[in-house]
Amino acid sequence: MGKYILKRILIVFPTLLAIIFIVFAVMSLTPNNPAAVILGPRASAEAIEKLNHELGYDKPLLIRYADYVVNLLHGDMGKSYNSRRDVFLEIASRFPTTVKLAASAIFLAVVIGVPLGVVAAVKQYSIFDVIGTAVSMFMASMPGFWFGMMAILLFSLTLGWLPSYGSKTAAHFILPSVTLAIPVAATILRFTRTTMLETIRQDYVRTARSKGQTEGRVVAAHALKNALLPIVTVAGMEFGWLLGGAVVIETLFSINGVGKLIIDSIHKKDIPQVTGCALFLAFFFMLVMLAVDILYAFIDPRIKARYQKG
């Protein structure tokens, strides 16, 4: 088990190096330069050239990339071109907000998707299955920004029940969390239904029924437990996606998270800030997937035994 975790950790480093290079390359290909964006259209060419030299943007791409990697190995993620603050401090001040939003969204998605998927599988071809399938298709087809705007229009502007922007209180997270959770819940619902349909047809499930166990115990203790592996995988991947994929929702609800920080930094061509955000999100996504793999061993003893053999 320890060797497996070590191998997964070692994979993180080349992946992060590739992400840094991709961000540097893409940002360098975009038109304009940081100094021109910061100083504005009326700035002179001399002032733009001087500021680009101070920022180090006049160096070739590979040299800037190498300098960034060396500084990163020393624990320095650089300074923002615009705020001149440490990139790490900028991200650290906003990352907890993004984690709260993503965690609340994945919690709602699991609470909605897993029970509906289980009922749809156990009651296959019944009205519950039809309703569950229709609900999942409806939730998956709704664009997040559209649902968010409709939620703001109804619950904030018309009814006045919930705030439409900010992240000061728990009430501020309700609308964005639900907006993020809806499409994820549809994915989890479909996966749960599919895996449960495969599991409830297995021999050990029929054996449990033949021993006189109640249907609820058969479903919960035997079928659902063995169907959890793909569900945990999907939930983990969706949580990692929500950490970086909440850009539109954070912008729509004016939430000062990492997603909104990325959008603002791209508009300002703040390369150190964009690179730092991408690294942060990629690193935590890998941690989430590593945690999912470790969780497998606790769900399925066969996987733990295979790790121990290795």
Shared domain check, 212 and 68: no
Regarding whether 124 and 33 lie in a shared domain, the answer is no
Would the pTM count as exceeding 0.85? no
pLDDT at 15: 84
Q: Do 59 and 143 sit in the same domain of this protein?
A: no
Domain count, the chain: 2
Is residue 303 included in any domain, yes or no? no
Same domain, 21 and 126: no
Q: Is residue 272 part of a domain?
A: no
Span 165-196, pLDDT tens digits: 877 888 888 888 888 888 888 888 888 888 88
Asked whether residue 216 falls in the same domain as residue 104, the answer is: yes
Establish if 242 belongs to a structural domain. yes
In the predicted model, residues of the chain with pLDDT beneath 50 are none
Contacts made by residues 64-72, CB under 8 angstroms, sequence distance 24+: 64/24, 65/20, 65/21, 65/24, 68/20, 68/24, 68/272, 68/275, 69/17, 69/20, 72/20, 72/279
Decide: 36 and 80 in contact? Cβ < 8 Å: no
Give residue 55's domain range.
2-73
Number of helical (H) and strand (E) elements in the chain, helices listed first: 15, 0
At 101-156, the pLDDT tens digits run 888 999 999 898 888 888 888 888 888 888 888 888 888 888 878 888 888 888 88
Q: Are residues 47 and 188 in the same domain?
A: no
Residues 143 and 205 grouped into a single domain? yes
Residue 91 inside a domain? The answer is no
> Would you state the pLDDT for residue 205?
75
Both 194 and 67 in one domain: the answer is no
Q: Is residue 16 part of a domain?
A: yes
Spatial separation of the C-alpha atoms in residues 93 and 86, rounded to whole Å: 11
**Residue 128 belongs to some domain of the structure:** yes
Q: Is 70 exposed, middle or buried (0-12, 13-18, 19+ CB in 10 A)?
A: exposed
> Is 172 part of any domain?
yes
104 lies in the same domain as 156: yes
According to the model, what pLDDT value does residue 303 have? Answer: 60
